[in-house]
Amino acid sequence: MSKIISICSEKGGVGKTTTTVNVAGGLVQLGKKVLVIDLDQQQNASRTLGYIKDGKPTVSELIYNEVAEIGTDFSEIIRHSESGIDYIPSSPMLTNITSTMANDEDSNYIIRRILSNDVFAEYDYILLDCRTLLDLLASNAMNASNYVIIPIESGIYAYEGLDKMLNKVASINNSTNRNLRVLGILLNKRQRTNVSVSLADSIRGEYENITFRTTIPYCPAQTEKAIMNQKGSVFDKSSSLGQAYRELAEEIAEREK
Ligand SMILES: Nc1ncnc2c1ncn2[C@@H]1O[C@H](COP(=O)(O)OP(=O)(O)OP(=O)(O)O)[C@@H](O)[C@H]1O
Ligand SMILES: [Mg+2]
């Protein structure tokens, strides 16, 4: 059975997309078969994985079709990236998708129904890159998932997004998906400043069991380099970010054994 993981936070710019794509890359390096689903109309994950608009259906059509009970040709919907990660791209149509989703009789489980299709069974991991809204699309992602990863920026506002996300996971746990677990809080953009260090200590103290051992350093030069090389946020294996994400992938593979 695939492990389905939502990478989710209501706070923007914390590293959801960077984490989705690089954890996927790390898991592929470990020999796993991985699918990334881009659930953000900004299409950052799609572009990072090499997506260029190709006229074929995206995740938006997949959701529309499911609500309208129209079959989808899955061979067209799954793209294959050079890095070995498979992905389903998003489109700007995703912006207002929740008004369509709300019409579904079983609107909490549209993505779960889609992922129950046989073509998805071959993946060891399915990673869902969520957008910043905790709306019906995000709940759908979490209702379809076994786990959530919550990336946070190691700065003074880290707690803001974290509390909201933990409450959201708890409320989903109590209502629509009892199996959902926090796989880990990920300390991203770790710096050597006092604020960053003491924040990391206090999060670890408070949420010891659910904070990843691995942290991701703040390396703007490496993210810039990846962008200049037209790799979006896919990091070189030998870079410190590449290595940190590989370590995180190992921790994830270990954690849910
Ligand atoms: N460890 C890091 N060091 C330096 N820059 C980083 C790091 N992680 C992410 N970034 C940069 O921070 C920005 C936001 O990252 P990312 O797009 O992954 O966040 P997000 O949570 O997906 O954002 P959004 O809310 O827009 O979806 C990007 O420019 C990314 O390159
Ligand atoms: Mg993003």
Q: What is the pLDDT of residue 132?
A: 95
pLDDT of amino acid 90? 98
pLDDT of 52 reads: 94
Q: Give the model's pLDDT for residue 257.
A: 58
Q: What is the pLDDT of residue 256?
A: 64
Q: Would you call 47 helix, strand, or coil by DSSP?
A: helix
**In this structure, what token pair is assigned to residue 230?**
């037209």
pLDDT value for 248: 98
Residue 65 CA from chain centroid, whole number: 23
Query: Residues 211, 240, 191, CA angle at the centre, nearest 5°?
Result: 55
Query: Which atom of ligand 1 is least distant from the CA of 220?
Result: 4
Is the CB of residue 218 below 6 angstroms from any atom belonging to ligand 1?
yes
pLDDT of residue 93: 96
Question: Can you list the domains of the chain with their CATH numbers?
Answer: 3-255 (3.40.50.300)
Q: How far, in Å, is the centroid of ligand 2 from the Cα of 19?
A: 9
Which are the contacts of 237, defined by CB distance < 8 A and separation ≥ 6? Answer: 29, 243, 246
How far does the centroid of ligand 1 lie from the alpha carbon of residue 16, in Å?
7
- Which parts of the chain register pLDDT below 70? 232, 256-257
Alpha-carbon separation of residue 75 from 23, 27, 79, 119 (angstroms):
24, 23, 8, 9
Specify the ligand 1 atom closest to the Cα of 11: 25
